[in-house]
């Protein structure tokens, strides 16, 4: 997904996924009933899942071998080959295949598989589902992602990918208000605390409704600034919050035009105990909020810190030029 390449809000970098199952092949001569369209969890699918977990199942007749090979726990294929199979899977998945993909996203990383490899497959499986035009998939898919995102027992990188893909679910569910509301509720419930998932969830709420990253200042947001402002200021002013969390809060403050963040941003930029990247993020956000009257405060940062001098000079020039 294009969010993966743009995950430059300096928080996450890592990646996503869960374990797999493969369905039971019908005995020769038997014709397996095909589930009705739109149903992605059937009794037959559940039975196939159980059989696979017991280690005695072959791919079902309506699960194409290419997809089974990409997702099988014991697949002999290299991770990049498996990911490529998922990228190239252009057909609409059958109900059993959709069920297989959802089960994969919900599962745990196999003990013998590197987490990064599993995360890559998780992301490609999610991308495959998002390429579909079947609205009936969105609700079960969103539910699985929300479960992964909320699961504190899962690695942070997987939860972060789930959060990113939930933003896609929100964007695709304009015609399904209850689903869109449930995604927002998930983000709000996760935005408490000061760790990375909280910051990523608040950032997601900030980004909802924007077509690209970073959003244009004129682009309307789906979530009103008033509700986000208080939480952003809390994270920005929390000295115990991780630096990545405060960088995210600084970004939101700058892009939202939260003028009340001026003093916390200055304090963060002046703090030599913070990483240079966090201090630079504070300068950049402050510059977006600043007017000509803020130039003395901004220039004082450059005078007191060689690390910030170039950023402050550039920001001051933009403010002077009225940009």
Whether 1 maps to a domain, the answer reads yes
Encoded tokens for 156: 């942070």
Whether 197 maps to a domain, the answer reads no
Whether 138 maps to a domain, the answer reads yes
Instruction: Give the integer Cα–Cα distance in Å for 125 and 76.
Output: 18
pLDDT band per the 50, 70, 90 thresholds, residue 322: confident
Specify the pLDDT at position 213.
62
For 214-256, write each residue's pLDDT tens digit: 666 677 889 888 889 999 999 999 988 999 999 999 999 999 9
DSSP 8-state class, residue 293: G
Whether 90 maps to a domain, the answer reads yes
For 302-312, write each residue's pLDDT tens digit: 777 788 889 99
Choose among 190, 202, 283, 317: nearest CA to 248.
Answer: 202
The CA distances from residue 285 to 54, 120, 188, 240, in Å, are 54, 32, 23, 20
How many domains are contained in the chain? 1
Q: Who has greater pLDDT, 313 or 119? A: 119
Structural domain for 64, as ranges: 1-21+41-173
Count of alpha carbons within 13 Å of 6, Cβ hemisphere only? 9
Specify the pLDDT at position 217.
64
Q: Measured between alpha carbons, how far apart are the two ends of the chain, in Å?
A: 32
Whether 95 maps to a domain, the answer reads yes
Instruction: Give the integer Cα–Cα distance in Å for 84 and 124.
Output: 8
Residue 286, C-beta contacts closer than 8 angstroms, at least 6 positions apart: 254, 262, 265, 266, 269, 294, 298, 315
DSSP 8-state class, residue 36: P
For 127-163, write each residue's pLDDT tens digit: 999 999 999 999 999 999 999 999 999 999 999 999 9
Whether 181 maps to a domain, the answer reads no
Give the chain's length: 323
Whether 106 maps to a domain, the answer reads yes
Choose among 72, 78, 175: nearest CA to 117.
Answer: 78
Whether 316 maps to a domain, the answer reads no
Give the range among 6-10, 56-60, 94-98, 141-145 with minimum mean pLDDT: 6-10
pTM of the model: 0.77
């Amino acid at each position: 997904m294009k969010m993966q390449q743009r995950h430059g809000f300096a928080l996450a970098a890592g990646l996503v996924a869960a374990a797999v199952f493969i369905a039971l092949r019908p005995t020769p001569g038997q014709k397996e009933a095909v589930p009705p369209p739109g149903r992605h969890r059937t009794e037959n699918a559940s039975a196939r899942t159980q059989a696979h977990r017991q280690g005695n199942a072959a791919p079902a007749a309506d699960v194409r071998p290419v997809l089974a090979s990409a997702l099988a726990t014991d697949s002999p294929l290299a991770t990049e080959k498996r990911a490529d199979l998922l990228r190239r899977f252009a057909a609409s998945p059958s109900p059993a295949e959709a069920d297989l993909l959802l089960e994969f996203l919900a599962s745990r990383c196999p003990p013998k598989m590197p987490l990064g490899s599993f995360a890559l497959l998780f992301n490609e499986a999610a991308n495959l589902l998002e390429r579909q035009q079947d609205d009936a998939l969105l609700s079960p898919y969103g539910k699985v992602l929300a479960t992964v995102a909320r699961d504190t027992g899962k690695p942070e990188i997987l939860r972060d990918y789930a959060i990113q893909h939930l933003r896609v679910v929100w964007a695709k569910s304009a015609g399904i208000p209850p689903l869109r509301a449930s995604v927002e509720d998930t983000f709000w419930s996760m935005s408490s605390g000061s760790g990375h998932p909280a910051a990523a969830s608040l950032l997601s709420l900030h980004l909802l409704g924007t077509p690209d990253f970073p959003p244009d200042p004129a682009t309307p947001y789906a979530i009103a600034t008033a509700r986000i402002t208080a939480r952003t200021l809390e994270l920005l002013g929390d000295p115990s919050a991780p630096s990545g969390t405060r960088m995210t809060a600084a970004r939101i403050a700058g892009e939202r035009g939260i003028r009340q963040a001026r003093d916390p941003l200055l304090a963060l930029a002046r703090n030599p105990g913070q990483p240079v990247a966090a201090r630079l993020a504070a300068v950049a956000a402050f510059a977006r909020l600043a007017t000509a009257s803020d130039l003395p405060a901004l220039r004082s940062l450059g005078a007191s810190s060689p690390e910030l001098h170039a950023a402050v000079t550039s920001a001051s020039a933009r403010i002077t030029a009225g940009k």
